[in-house]
Structure 1
Amino acid sequence: MNNIILLIPYYNNSKGLMKSLQSIDQDEELDILIVDDGSINKFEENIATQNFKAKGKIFFEYLHENKGIETALNTGLKISIEKGYKYIARLDCGDICLGKRFAIQKRFLEDNPEIKILGSNVLAVDNNDKFLYSIDLPLNDRDIKNKMYFNSMLIHPAIMFSTEILKTVGLYSLNYKSAEDYAFFFAISKSYKMANISEYLTQIEINENGISLQKRKQQVACRIKIIKENFYFGFYPIYGLIRNYILLILPYRFILFLKKIKK
């Protein structure tokens, strides 16, 4: 049995799922857990298996109704714990792995046992795979935790973490719609060290018609709530609140424009 499991929540995106599975290097050693969140447009298990060429198995879990990504993720975490995996990684349908992502992340975590969650720099493309911008993140624990008050300094589909932290942190909260990852990372930051790798190990798809962007205002509002719950009087929390209140009123197309010209 491999000691890494890749958790992929699925909802009505079979094309994106196959794209993600195809991107995993054939030399990687990991298993995959796909959690179907009550989809209408199902994928075929045999086709998914055929598109996965790495050294591992695919497990499938089906929720009877659509309950949201938080429930799908928590279902996946519980199964991963029960199966005894040492590391849990993440990927979303439509996002792809670059190079030997999982081997690189596993090696880093084992060489740096004080680090319990690890991300990487990320490339962003549109739904036609046209490059939009790169996301360059702080690399060390201190900078990540300080700048978490601005925005998430770990990209959710690019992370790998030690399963042992769930004993302390628990599962994803259901109280922060569209910002469950941000709350999860803040909870981890209170007890464990974090890091990013400077390599671009994941490519994420930015779909302007996607659910995550449709719920952007809800996401920013929840981010503000999380910042307030973790607030102290200092530069990073104060600036982070101001920044996110501004983001709450700005149209996303303008923000995307700024990201493009910056990169």
Structure 2
Amino acid sequence: MEERKKPAYDFCLLIPYYNNLPGLISSLKSVIYDSLAYALLIVDDGSKQPLLKEDILPYLPQPLSLTILRLGENQGITGALNTGLRWIEEQQCCRYIARLDCGDLCAPERFARQVRYLDAHPKVALLGSWCVFKNFRTGESYRYITPTEYGDILKEMHFRNVFIHPTVMWRAGITREVGVYPEDFPHAEDYGYFYEIISKAEATVLPAELVICEINPQGISLHYRKEQLRSRIRVIRRYGKNRLFRLIGVLKLRILLAIPYKMILETKKLAYGIKRNSVR
């Protein structure tokens, strides 16, 4: 049996990067943790101007383990993330893996709280948190609140992704069991990946808004909205265990496919109480 070396870091923070240096710098400046206790891995997904360490070192604490992997051409977020996960597995460098996207901001206590929770709850493999979605240009924002207990999460995943991607931290060991992000759910790879994890191990969401996620009208989620919705339908069909919930979840997504996004946004404003300049 291959002997695994003892991890050197509490977690490795995995960030995919593509032509967004200001967003990356903002995100990195929000990361608060002992710089000797975590590693930072950035996967440059074929940016027009390659990301260099010198571009971000002035904004990072020192000393810090920093690695930039450069992809020769743009592969999309799934390819970038899987490149990062394979590198982390080869290095065997960390106990946990955390995610963050360029432009998203972490609460100062985010990583300390997540590490403490996973240390204290060894059966929990995946840990998310509540978050705030914010349009930094207009100031509009809304809270994203989800169930927090495993049983409730299993039910809710039939209807939406409970785990917002930039909020999560998970055990490196579960990646060795489930593999990397699936490539057959375009623009919903995280939904499929987290559903795979919770089908094999327990998961929890911390009831605190630990990340501010940027609403970008030009972002992937909005640009490829219909393709993402179709991928979410396939995720529910593959992983949903409750037949009734699965049927309702698929029906809901089919209705969303037929509704213009502007109408959905107006509905969200009513449902979530979207506010202006309410989150900084």
TM-score tier, shorter chain, comes to over 0.9
Paired position in structure 2 for 1:35: 43
SS at match of 2:9: coil
How do 1:1-263 residues align onto structure 2 when only pairs under 5 Å count? 1-25=8-32, 27=34, 29-53=37-61, 56-84=64-92, 85-128=94-137, 130-232=139-241, 234-262=243-271, 263=273
Q: What's the offset of the Cα at 1:3? A: 2.3
Taking the aligned partners of 1:64 and 1:42, their CA distance within structure 2 comes to: 10
Paired position in structure 1 for 2:4: none
Check the 8 A contact 1:129/1:205 in 2, yes or no: no
- The normalised TM-score by structure 2 is 0.89
SS at match of 1:3: strand
* Identity among equivalent pairs (%): 37
Q: What's the offset of the Cα at 1:54? A: 7.0
Check the 8 A contact 1:26/1:55 in 2, yes or no: no
Q: What's the offset of the Cα at 1:252? A: 1.8
Q: What's the offset of the Cα at 1:106? A: 0.5
Aligned residues: 263
- The normalised TM-score by structure 1 is 0.95
Which amino acid in 2 is paired with 1:6? L
Taking the aligned partners of 1:210 and 1:257, their CA distance within structure 2 comes to: 19
For structure 1, which runs of at least 5 residues remain unmatched after alignment?
none
Residues 165/259 of structure 1: CA separation in 2 closer, same or farther (3 Å cut): same
Check the 8 A contact 1:10/1:17 in 2, yes or no: yes
Per-residue deviation, residues 180-239 of structure 1 (Å, max 9, x unmatched): 001101111211001000111111001112122100110000111111223455332121
SS at match of 2:133: strand
Moved more, 132-141 or 20-29: 20-29
Check the 8 A contact 1:49/1:58 in 2, yes or no: no
Q: What's the offset of the Cα at 1:27? A: 4.5
Which amino acid in 2 is paired with 1:252? Y
